[in-house]
Amino acid sequence: MSRSVASPHHEPPTAAPRPLTVENLSVHYGGVVAVDGVSFTVEPGRCVGIIGANGAGKTSTLRAVMGLAPRTCTAMRLGDVDLARVKARDVVRQGIGYVPEGRRVFGGLSVETNLQLGAYSRSRGTGIEQTLAEVYELFPMLSEMRSRLAGALSGGQQQMLAIGRAMMSAPSMLILDEPSMGLSPKFVGTVLDSLLQLRERGLSILLVEQNAWLTFEATERCLVMENGRVALIGPSADLRHDAGVRQIYLGL
C-alpha cells in the first residue's frame, strides 16, 4: 500500500526537537506494580513504539511520562528539562503533545473549537492559524466538518480530531495511546498515514498500540512489554520477524 509524505513546504515543529530519556521508571498504584524498571530513549525525529497485552503497563508508562500517574525513576528528561519535576499541566509547554486513550474530545463543542483548545499553551500571534491550516491539510475531513459538534463524529473522525488537537500545541514530540482502538481498517490506515507524515516532518513520536502491525509500520524501534517490564527491545524491522512476536502479536 502506498503511503503519502508531507508536502515540501511544511516547516518543522515550533519546539526544538530534544531526546526523551527515561531510566528505571516504575509506577505503583497502592500495592500494585504497574511498571517495573522500564528504560528507553526517543531520539529527536525518531518514532518509538510500545506493544504488549492488556495490563502490560503500556498506558501507565505514557501517563507517567505526562505526569499523570504516581511514578519513581532514576531519570526522566526531555533534553535538559527534568520532567520528573514538571507538573502535569506544564508538560505540554515543554513541547510534548498527548493523544490519550479513548480520544476524549469535547463532544458538545465544534471541531474547530476543540482544535483551538489544543493551542491553550501558546500565546496569540505565534502561528496558531498556520498550525490550524496544517491540521486541516493533514486531515481534510476535519476541515469539511469544522462547524460540526465533535460528539457527532464517528470514532475514526474523533481520533483524527484528537491527533489534530495535540498538534495545535506545536509540539516537537507526540505521545499517542492506542490511536487505532475501535477503528475500522480504513481509519487505521488514516492514522498510520498521519503518523508517517508527521514523522517525515521531523516530529518525535512515542506510540503505544495493541495493533502490532501498525506499530511496526510506523516506528523505527519498539519495546515489547510484559507484566510491567520490557521483555524485548530493538529495531521494529527485526522484532516483526521475531518468531515469538509474530506468533503472539501478529498471529503468524
pLDDT recorded at residue 252: 55
> Could you report the per-residue pLDDT of 135-168, keeping only the tens digit for each?
999 999 999 999 999 889 988 899 999 999 999 9
Residue 56 lies in a domain: yes
* b/e sequence 110-136, b meaning 16+ C-beta within 10 Å: bbbebbbebbebbeeeeebeebbebbb
Cα 23 from Cα 76, distance rounded (Å):
6
- DSSP letter assigned to residue 213: H
Residue 241 lies in a domain: yes
Residue 11 lies in a domain: no
Cα 165 from Cα 115, distance rounded (Å):
5
Q: Which residue has the higher pLDDT, 65 or 54?
A: 65
Domain extent for 177: 20-249
Residue 213 lies in a domain: yes
Domains identified in the chain, total number: 1
- Give the CATH number, domain containing residue 60: 3.40.50.300
Residue 105 binned pLDDT confidence (cut-offs 50, 70, 90): confident
Residue 69 lies in a domain: yes
Residue 2 lies in a domain: no
Residue 97 lies in a domain: yes
Residue 109 lies in a domain: yes
pLDDT recorded at residue 125: 62
> Could you report the per-residue pLDDT of 10-43, keeping only the tens digit for each?
443 455 678 999 999 999 998 899 999 999 999 9
Cα 137 from Cα 218, distance rounded (Å):
20
